[in-house]
Amino acid sequence: MADPLIRFCLAHLTAEQQEVLQEDLDLAVRIQDTLLPSRHLRSGGWEACYHYEPAGPVSGDYCDLIATGGGLFFVTGDVSGKGVASSLLMSHLHAIFRSLLSVGMPIGSLLERANRVFCESTLPSFYATLVCGHAHPTGEIEICNAGHCPPLLVRPGEIAPVEAAALPLGLFGTGTFAARSIRLEPGDGLVLYTDGLTEARNQAGEEYAAERLAEVLRGAHGQPPQRVTTACLADLAAFLGGAPKTDDLTLMAIQRVSAAA
Protein backbone atom coordinates (compact mmCIF):
# COMPACT_ATOMS: atom_id res chain seq x y z
CA MET A 1 0.00 0.00 0.00
CA ALA A 2 2.98 2.31 0.53
CA ASP A 3 4.28 1.87 -3.02
CA PRO A 4 1.93 2.99 -5.80
CA LEU A 5 4.06 1.20 -8.42
CA ILE A 6 3.00 -2.12 -6.87
CA ARG A 7 -0.65 -1.19 -7.35
CA PHE A 8 -0.36 0.69 -10.66
CA CYS A 9 2.05 -0.52 -13.33
CA LEU A 10 2.92 2.40 -15.61
CA ALA A 11 3.42 0.05 -18.55
CA HIS A 12 -0.24 -0.98 -18.31
CA LEU A 13 -1.65 2.54 -18.42
CA THR A 14 -3.54 3.41 -21.56
CA ALA A 15 -1.96 5.77 -24.06
CA GLU A 16 -4.36 8.48 -22.93
CA GLN A 17 -3.51 7.93 -19.26
CA GLN A 18 0.23 8.06 -20.03
CA GLU A 19 -0.24 11.30 -21.96
CA VAL A 20 -2.12 12.90 -19.06
CA LEU A 21 0.63 11.79 -16.65
CA GLN A 22 3.33 13.26 -18.91
CA GLU A 23 1.42 16.53 -19.22
CA ASP A 24 1.22 16.78 -15.43
CA LEU A 25 4.95 16.20 -15.14
CA ASP A 26 5.74 18.74 -17.85
CA LEU A 27 3.61 21.30 -16.03
CA ALA A 28 5.46 20.58 -12.78
CA VAL A 29 8.75 21.27 -14.59
CA ARG A 30 7.48 24.62 -15.88
CA ILE A 31 6.11 25.62 -12.49
CA GLN A 32 9.39 24.84 -10.74
CA ASP A 33 11.29 26.80 -13.35
CA THR A 34 9.16 29.89 -12.64
CA LEU A 35 10.08 29.65 -8.94
CA LEU A 36 13.79 30.01 -9.69
CA PRO A 37 15.31 33.51 -9.45
CA SER A 38 17.18 35.30 -12.20
CA ARG A 39 20.34 33.35 -13.10
CA HIS A 40 22.46 36.47 -12.70
CA LEU A 41 21.93 39.26 -10.17
CA ARG A 42 23.80 42.41 -9.14
CA SER A 43 22.83 44.39 -6.04
CA GLY A 44 24.54 46.59 -3.45
CA GLY A 45 28.08 45.96 -4.68
CA TRP A 46 27.48 42.19 -5.00
CA GLU A 47 27.19 39.94 -8.01
CA ALA A 48 25.80 36.39 -8.02
CA CYS A 49 25.30 33.62 -10.55
CA TYR A 50 24.05 30.05 -10.16
CA HIS A 51 23.59 26.76 -11.99
CA TYR A 52 20.54 24.58 -11.22
CA GLU A 53 20.34 21.06 -12.66
CA PRO A 54 17.72 18.48 -11.65
CA ALA A 55 18.71 14.81 -11.84
CA GLY A 56 15.23 14.07 -13.21
CA PRO A 57 12.35 16.21 -14.47
CA VAL A 58 12.10 18.16 -11.18
CA SER A 59 14.51 18.88 -8.34
CA GLY A 60 14.50 18.83 -4.55
CA ASP A 61 17.23 21.48 -4.39
CA TYR A 62 16.25 24.94 -3.17
CA CYS A 63 17.93 27.99 -4.69
CA ASP A 64 17.01 31.65 -4.24
CA LEU A 65 18.53 35.09 -4.82
CA ILE A 66 16.76 38.31 -3.86
CA ALA A 67 17.90 41.94 -3.93
CA THR A 68 16.96 43.47 -0.57
CA GLY A 69 17.55 47.05 0.55
CA GLY A 70 20.74 47.48 -1.43
CA GLY A 71 22.06 44.06 -0.40
CA LEU A 72 21.59 40.47 -1.49
CA PHE A 73 19.69 37.61 0.18
CA PHE A 74 20.69 34.09 -0.86
CA VAL A 75 19.74 30.48 -0.07
CA THR A 76 21.02 27.15 -1.30
CA GLY A 77 19.49 23.99 0.13
CA ASP A 78 18.59 20.36 -0.38
CA VAL A 79 15.36 18.65 0.68
CA SER A 80 15.69 15.01 1.74
CA GLY A 81 14.76 12.52 -0.97
CA LYS A 82 14.39 13.06 -4.69
CA GLY A 83 11.75 13.52 -7.32
CA VAL A 84 8.29 15.02 -7.20
CA ALA A 85 7.83 14.78 -3.41
CA SER A 86 11.04 16.71 -2.78
CA SER A 87 10.17 19.27 -5.43
CA LEU A 88 6.86 19.94 -3.64
CA LEU A 89 8.76 20.59 -0.41
CA MET A 90 11.22 22.79 -2.30
CA SER A 91 8.23 24.88 -3.41
CA HIS A 92 7.00 24.97 0.17
CA LEU A 93 10.37 26.26 1.43
CA HIS A 94 10.39 28.87 -1.32
CA ALA A 95 7.00 30.18 -0.17
CA ILE A 96 8.05 30.19 3.50
CA PHE A 97 11.25 32.18 2.93
CA ARG A 98 9.68 34.60 0.47
CA SER A 99 6.92 35.34 2.99
CA LEU A 100 9.21 35.77 5.98
CA LEU A 101 11.87 37.80 4.21
CA SER A 102 9.59 40.84 4.00
CA VAL A 103 9.57 41.05 7.81
CA GLY A 104 13.26 42.06 7.80
CA MET A 105 14.39 39.91 10.73
CA PRO A 106 17.99 38.73 11.32
CA ILE A 107 19.08 35.52 9.59
CA GLY A 108 19.04 33.44 12.80
CA SER A 109 15.50 34.52 13.67
CA LEU A 110 14.40 34.01 10.07
CA LEU A 111 15.60 30.40 10.12
CA GLU A 112 14.03 29.70 13.50
CA ARG A 113 10.65 30.84 12.26
CA ALA A 114 11.02 29.05 8.92
CA ASN A 115 11.98 25.86 10.75
CA ARG A 116 8.90 26.05 12.96
CA VAL A 117 6.57 26.53 9.99
CA PHE A 118 8.31 23.76 8.04
CA CYS A 119 8.01 21.33 10.97
CA GLU A 120 4.33 22.10 11.48
CA SER A 121 3.41 21.58 7.83
CA THR A 122 5.66 18.71 6.71
CA LEU A 123 5.72 14.96 7.28
CA PRO A 124 8.19 14.07 10.08
CA SER A 125 10.35 11.96 7.74
CA PHE A 126 11.36 15.00 5.68
CA TYR A 127 13.95 17.67 6.43
CA ALA A 128 16.03 20.21 4.56
CA THR A 129 19.68 21.25 4.83
CA LEU A 130 20.48 24.75 3.67
CA VAL A 131 22.76 27.77 3.83
CA CYS A 132 21.04 31.11 4.20
CA GLY A 133 22.68 34.52 4.14
CA HIS A 134 22.35 38.26 3.69
CA ALA A 135 25.16 40.15 1.96
CA HIS A 136 25.20 43.83 2.97
CA PRO A 137 26.61 46.77 0.97
CA THR A 138 29.30 47.19 3.66
CA GLY A 139 30.88 43.87 2.68
CA GLU A 140 29.48 42.00 5.68
CA ILE A 141 27.70 38.69 5.11
CA GLU A 142 25.36 37.43 7.81
CA ILE A 143 25.25 33.67 7.21
CA CYS A 144 23.98 30.46 8.82
CA ASN A 145 24.70 26.88 7.75
CA ALA A 146 21.89 24.53 8.81
CA GLY A 147 23.45 21.09 8.32
CA HIS A 148 24.42 21.76 4.71
CA CYS A 149 27.59 21.27 2.67
CA PRO A 150 30.09 23.89 3.89
CA PRO A 151 30.19 26.93 1.56
CA LEU A 152 33.69 27.99 0.57
CA LEU A 153 35.05 31.49 1.12
CA VAL A 154 37.44 32.45 -1.66
CA ARG A 155 40.08 34.98 -0.61
CA PRO A 156 43.64 35.65 -1.82
CA GLY A 157 45.59 32.49 -0.94
CA GLU A 158 42.76 31.10 1.19
CA ILE A 159 39.81 28.74 0.76
CA ALA A 160 37.87 28.66 4.05
CA PRO A 161 34.79 26.48 4.65
CA VAL A 162 31.78 27.80 6.56
CA GLU A 163 30.93 24.77 8.68
CA ALA A 164 27.43 23.91 9.88
CA ALA A 165 26.38 25.69 13.07
CA ALA A 166 22.83 24.34 13.28
CA LEU A 167 20.75 21.25 12.54
CA PRO A 168 18.72 20.93 9.31
CA LEU A 169 15.25 22.43 9.12
CA GLY A 170 12.42 20.07 9.98
CA LEU A 171 14.08 17.91 12.64
CA PHE A 172 12.97 19.82 15.74
CA GLY A 173 10.38 22.57 15.85
CA THR A 174 12.19 24.51 18.58
CA GLY A 175 15.68 24.48 17.10
CA THR A 176 17.99 27.50 17.35
CA PHE A 177 20.05 28.81 14.46
CA ALA A 178 23.18 30.81 15.15
CA ALA A 179 24.35 33.11 12.36
CA ARG A 180 27.89 34.37 11.96
CA SER A 181 29.26 37.48 10.29
CA ILE A 182 31.95 37.38 7.61
CA ARG A 183 33.54 40.35 5.89
CA LEU A 184 34.55 40.16 2.24
CA GLU A 185 36.74 42.62 0.39
CA PRO A 186 36.20 43.54 -3.27
CA GLY A 187 37.18 40.51 -5.36
CA ASP A 188 36.48 38.01 -2.58
CA GLY A 189 33.81 35.41 -3.17
CA LEU A 190 31.58 32.77 -1.63
CA VAL A 191 30.66 29.49 -3.35
CA LEU A 192 27.65 27.43 -2.27
CA TYR A 193 26.68 24.02 -3.59
CA THR A 194 24.62 20.91 -2.93
CA ASP A 195 25.97 17.37 -2.55
CA GLY A 196 25.02 16.61 -6.14
CA LEU A 197 28.34 18.31 -6.95
CA THR A 198 30.75 17.00 -4.32
CA GLU A 199 29.26 13.49 -4.13
CA ALA A 200 29.16 12.96 -7.90
CA ARG A 201 31.04 9.79 -8.89
CA ASN A 202 32.99 8.97 -12.03
CA GLN A 203 32.99 5.65 -13.84
CA ALA A 204 35.62 4.30 -11.41
CA GLY A 205 33.32 5.06 -8.47
CA GLU A 206 35.52 7.89 -7.19
CA GLU A 207 33.83 10.86 -5.52
CA TYR A 208 34.42 14.40 -6.77
CA ALA A 209 34.72 15.73 -3.18
CA ALA A 210 35.03 19.23 -1.73
CA GLU A 211 38.83 19.10 -1.88
CA ARG A 212 38.81 19.01 -5.68
CA LEU A 213 36.29 21.85 -5.77
CA ALA A 214 38.58 23.88 -3.52
CA GLU A 215 41.49 23.31 -5.91
CA VAL A 216 39.45 24.71 -8.80
CA LEU A 217 38.55 27.76 -6.70
CA ARG A 218 42.13 28.53 -5.60
CA GLY A 219 42.85 30.31 -8.86
CA ALA A 220 39.40 31.86 -9.08
CA HIS A 221 39.88 34.86 -6.78
CA GLY A 222 38.63 37.98 -8.49
CA GLN A 223 36.92 36.08 -11.30
CA PRO A 224 33.28 37.00 -12.06
CA PRO A 225 30.72 34.54 -10.63
CA GLN A 226 29.73 33.29 -14.07
CA ARG A 227 33.33 32.31 -14.86
CA VAL A 228 33.61 30.61 -11.46
CA THR A 229 30.55 28.44 -12.04
CA THR A 230 31.65 27.66 -15.60
CA ALA A 231 35.10 26.55 -14.40
CA CYS A 232 33.63 24.34 -11.68
CA LEU A 233 31.15 22.68 -14.03
CA ALA A 234 33.83 22.11 -16.68
CA ASP A 235 36.07 20.43 -14.10
CA LEU A 236 33.18 18.27 -12.92
CA ALA A 237 32.42 17.18 -16.48
CA ALA A 238 36.08 16.27 -17.04
CA PHE A 239 36.08 14.28 -13.79
CA LEU A 240 32.88 12.38 -14.60
CA GLY A 241 34.13 11.39 -18.02
CA GLY A 242 30.64 10.64 -19.25
CA ALA A 243 29.36 8.99 -16.07
CA PRO A 244 25.70 9.89 -15.44
CA LYS A 245 24.71 12.36 -12.71
CA THR A 246 22.45 10.71 -10.16
CA ASP A 247 21.53 13.62 -7.88
CA ASP A 248 20.20 17.14 -8.18
CA LEU A 249 22.99 19.71 -8.51
CA THR A 250 23.03 23.37 -7.53
CA LEU A 251 26.07 25.64 -7.63
CA MET A 252 26.04 29.33 -6.65
CA ALA A 253 28.90 31.85 -6.79
CA ILE A 254 28.70 35.23 -5.04
CA GLN A 255 31.34 37.97 -5.31
CA ARG A 256 31.81 41.38 -3.77
CA VAL A 257 32.52 43.52 -6.79
CA SER A 258 32.79 46.98 -5.24
CA ALA A 259 33.13 48.73 -1.89
CA ALA A 260 30.23 50.65 -0.38
CA ALA A 261 29.92 54.21 -1.63
Q: 217-232: per-residue pLDDT in tens? A: 998 888 999 999 999 9
Asked, for residue 27, whether it belongs to a domain, the answer is no
Asked, for residue 21, whether it belongs to a domain, the answer is no
Buried b (16+ CB within 10 A) or exposed e, 99-132: ebbeeeeebbebbbbbbbbbbeebeeebbbbbbb
Decide: residue 58, CB within 10 A, 0-12 exposed, 13-18 middle, 19+ buried: buried
Residue 160 — φ and ψ, nearest 5°?
A: -120, 120
What is the domain extent for residue 73? 42-256
Asked, for residue 242, whether it belongs to a domain, the answer is yes
Task: Give me the pLDDT at residue 98, please.
Answer: 93
Residue 1 has pLDDT above 70, yes or no: no
Counted domains in the chain: 1
Which comes out higher in pLDDT, residue 168 or 69? Answer: 168
Q: For residues 193 and 252, is the Cβ–Cβ distance under 8 A?
A: yes
Give the CATH number of the domain where residue 178 resides. 3.60.40.10
**CA 171/CA 93 separation, integer angstroms:** 14
Asked, for residue 157, whether it belongs to a domain, the answer is yes
Asked, for residue 107, whether it belongs to a domain, the answer is yes
Q: For residues 181 and 252, is the Cβ–Cβ distance under 8 A?
A: no
Minimum mean pLDDT range among 11-20, 126-135, 198-207, 222-231: 11-20
Asked, for residue 71, whether it belongs to a domain, the answer is yes
- HEC states along 39-100? CEEEECCEEEEEEEECCCCCCCEEEEEEEECCEEEEEEEEECCCHHHHHHHHHHHHHHHHHH
Going by pLDDT thresholds of 50, 70 and 90, the confidence category of residue 68 is confident
- The mean pLDDT value for 188-195 works out to 97
Asked, for residue 189, whether it belongs to a domain, the answer is yes
Asked, for residue 160, whether it belongs to a domain, the answer is yes
**CA 81/CA 88 separation, integer angstroms:** 11
Q: List pLDDT tens digits, range 11-56.
A: 777 888 878 878 888 888 899 999 999 999 999 999 999 999 999 9
- What is the value of pTM for the model shown? 0.91
153 bridge partner residues: 160, 190
- The mean pLDDT value for 186-199 works out to 96
Task: Give me the pLDDT at residue 28, please.
Answer: 86
Which comes out higher in pLDDT, residue 176 or 7? Answer: 176
Going by pLDDT thresholds of 50, 70 and 90, the confidence category of residue 10 is low
Contacts of 98 (CB under 8 A, 6+ apart): 64, 66
180 bridge partner residues: 143
Residue 3 has pLDDT above 70, yes or no: no
Task: Give me the pLDDT at residue 23, please.
Answer: 86
Dihedral-angle region of residue 187 (phi above 0 means left; psi in -120 to 50 means alpha; beta otherwise): left
